[in-house]
Amino acid sequence: MDFEFTEAQREFARQVDAFIEENRADDVMDPTRENFAQLVDTPPRRAFMQKIGERGWLGMTWPKEYGGADGEGIYEYLLNERLAAVGAPQIGKGVGIIGKTLIRHGSDKLKREFLPKILNNEIEFAIGYSEPQAGSDAAAMALRATRDGDGWRLNGQKIFTTSAHFAQWYWVGARTDPEAPKHSGISLFLLPMDAPGLTVQSMPTIGNDITNQVFFDDVYVGDDYLVGELNRGFQYISEALDLERFTMFTFSPIQKRVELLCNYVAAEERDGRPLREDPVVRQRIARLVTETEVARVLGLSFVAASMKGGKPPTCEASAYKLYATELSQRVANAALDIAGPGGQLRVGTQDAPMKGRSDSAYRATVVETIGGGSSEIQKNILARRKLGLPKNF
């Protein structure tokens, strides 16, 4: 596999960079949010994404019949990574997860209603899989959906639902057949966040982000907002998670923090000696730079596999997500160690080493190894599906 970009791909990246420079603004781009810039919603950021939509860059890989361009996945990858590098909003859940899943499994009604709004950046989604007793194990969800006429009544709770405090629609899994086996009997629905009986309770995190608990009290959703077939929701959720593990955990913020750390080591002195001459620091930097290149290649491997069409590549998604998010933590740990006590100074503090990024990254990267399925879940997926190991080993 060739891991270098073609001239056409490099030209597209230059176009994206030029667009970013033309629209650069502090209230739109904030790299100190690390990998969670897509979880912020403000009018300037929406206007920025609408401009991207006007360029035809949203949904580039979608089929033309749904407003896309039948483009190669590498261009979507380049767009998302360039945006992530400057802390701008990215293609996120709508284009990269929900839209693609609806194209594969949604009814004609859902496609007509949601796909144009996604391409025009007119809508934000929250994703509801995790529950208090079903964190990374989505198949254990217990939110009950009970048949009521031409629809369903939902009762129960979701937790760790990012974007629920500003999203308009909820992409949510519920158990429609409690007698079915664990991985069966789950269905996937779309429902408005202002539905009667739906309550959102915000939960601040150590990474300066907001996640949420969501409570369902007889929330009604009609059959026409069922995604795909009844009781096959876990299959669709699994596919959507493969997309999430790649789309939502971009490589560029890791690369930028490694560059920032390298520049700090190159210029800083400790006890009158250049920090770059410390053999322990040199060894640690060399290892991180090497591992960063591995993460880049794993990401490109996912892009290459997904370009084949059909179901998203599960093993490639899990391998990338596991390696990249744990590397992100190692980079944050190294930056905090190398900076010393000053590394605990926060973003915005005058003279903070690396502009305070070591502190913000250390707190933010805790979430990265959990969202989209914890590292333990990714290891289980790779053990079973890549290595063929039994479930109990």
Residue 34 has pLDDT above 80, yes or no: no
The confidence score (pLDDT) of residue 247 equals: 75
Lowest mean pLDDT among 166-170, 341-345, 366-370: 366-370
Beta bridge partners of 153: 146, 220
Assigned token pair, 107 = 């009814």
Pairing of strands 169-175, 125-128: parallel
Give CA–CA dist 378/376, Å, rounded: 5
The confidence score (pLDDT) of residue 310 equals: 62
Q: Average the pLDDT over 225-236 and give the result.
A: 94
Give per-residue burial for 346-385: e unless 16+ CB within 10 Å, then b: ebeeeebbbbbbbbbbbbbbebbbbbbbbbebbebbbeee
8 Å CB contact between 173 and 154 = no
8 Å CB contact between 89 and 40 = yes
Give ranges for CATH 1.20.140.10 in the chain: 251-386
Look at residue 197 and give its three-state secondary structure: coil
Residue 392 confidence class, pLDDT cut points 50, 70, 90: low
Q: Average the pLDDT over 93-115 and give the result.
A: 93
The confidence score (pLDDT) of residue 202 equals: 92
Q: Average the pLDDT over 214-240 and give the result.
A: 94
Tell the residue number behind the tokens 């369903």, with chain if given.
152
Give ranges for CATH 2.40.110.10 in the chain: 126-231
User: What's the one-letter identity of residue 335?
Assistant: A
Give per-residue burial for 33-68: e unless 16+ CB within 10 Å, then b: bbbbbbbbeeeebeebbeebbeeebbbbbbeeebbb
Per the model's pLDDT, the better-predicted residue between 250 and 287 turns out to be: 287
8 Å CB contact between 246 and 371 = no
The confidence score (pLDDT) of residue 205 equals: 80
Q: What is the pLDDT of residues 294-343, one digit of tens each?
A: 999 998 888 877 755 567 788 888 999 999 999 999 999 999 999 999 99
Look at residue 226 and give its three-state secondary structure: strand
Fold of 7-90: Butyryl-Coa Dehydrogenase, subunit A; domain 1 (1.10.540)
Which CATH number does 251-386 carry? 1.20.140.10
The confidence score (pLDDT) of residue 265 equals: 96
Residue 37 has pLDDT above 60, yes or no: no
Fold of 126-231: Butyryl-CoA Dehydrogenase, subunit A; domain 2 (2.40.110)
Highest mean pLDDT: which range of 55-69, 254-268, 369-383: 254-268
Tell me the helices (H) and strands (E) count for the chain, helix number first.
12, 10
Give CA–CA dist 322/181, Å, rounded: 28
Give ranges for CATH 1.10.540.10 in the chain: 7-90
